[in-house]
Amino acid sequence: MEKRVSTPLTEETIRDLRAGDKVLLTGYLYTARDAAHKRMVEALRRGEELPINVKGQVIYYVGPTPPKPGQVIGSAGPTTSIRMDKYVEDLLVLGLKGMIGKGYRSPQVKELLKKYGAVYFAAVGGVAVLLSKCIKSSEVVAYEDLGTEAIRRLYVEDFPVIVANDVYGGDVFEEGRRRFARVD
């Protein structure tokens, strides 16, 4: 069974999610990859405001391709999340509540999710065209000079993700490894 979740994320919603839950997200997401994360954290460390308010929000680690005529967005599959790990705490401190990407997170990030009350969702890689069909609108809101890595505000409907890491320390990747480990 899938859980339907709306953004922005609330504390109550986050506490109801467990690693392995299938979720259909509806609402606004922000996109940001390596270059945008680096720029945001550098701005914060200079004492500047971010170009977006991340409180309660979800950041999707994606650099979508340009749309073809008649499309809202091009291919929009997740990128590897661990590359953003060094930037996560700076954003969680400001109230970021969710991240979407592919692959596992570092032990440090899993602890930060518990500390700050946030969740990491995994999106399936390799189905970027299918994921893009759940994106109903897209607008560049910051760092336009970064091209595909600019920060976009997306409106999504029934965007399919899996809770990979929850606020309780649950980790779908570790659980999967344990479940399928061979015993000699």
- Return the CATH number at 71: 3.20.130.10
The pLDDT value given to residue 1: 75
Q: Is 85 a member of any domain? A: yes
* Residue 66: closest CA among 156, 136, 155, 132: 132
Q: Judge whether 135 counts as a catalytic residue.
A: no
Kindly report the length of the chain: 184
Residue 12 exposure: Cα atoms within 13 Å on the Cβ side: 2
Q: Is 184 a member of any domain? A: no
Of the candidates 31, 32, 37, 62, the residue annotated as catalytic is 37
Q: Is 64 a member of any domain? A: yes
The pLDDT value given to residue 183: 55
The pLDDT value given to residue 125: 73
The answer to whether the CB of 98 falls within 8 A of the CB of 57 is: yes
Q: How many domains does the chain have?
A: 1
**Tens digit of pLDDT per residue, the chain (184 long)?**
799 999 999 999 999 999 999 999 999 999 999 999 999 999 999 999 999 999 999 999 998 888 889 889 988 889 899 999 999 999 999 999 999 999 999 999 999 999 999 999 999 877 777 888 899 999 999 999 999 999 999 999 999 999 999 999 999 988 776 777 755 5
What range does the domain containing 169 cover? Answer: 2-179
Q: Is 102 a member of any domain? A: yes
The C-alpha atoms of residue 66 and residue 2 are separated, in whole angstroms, by 30
The pLDDT value given to residue 75: 85
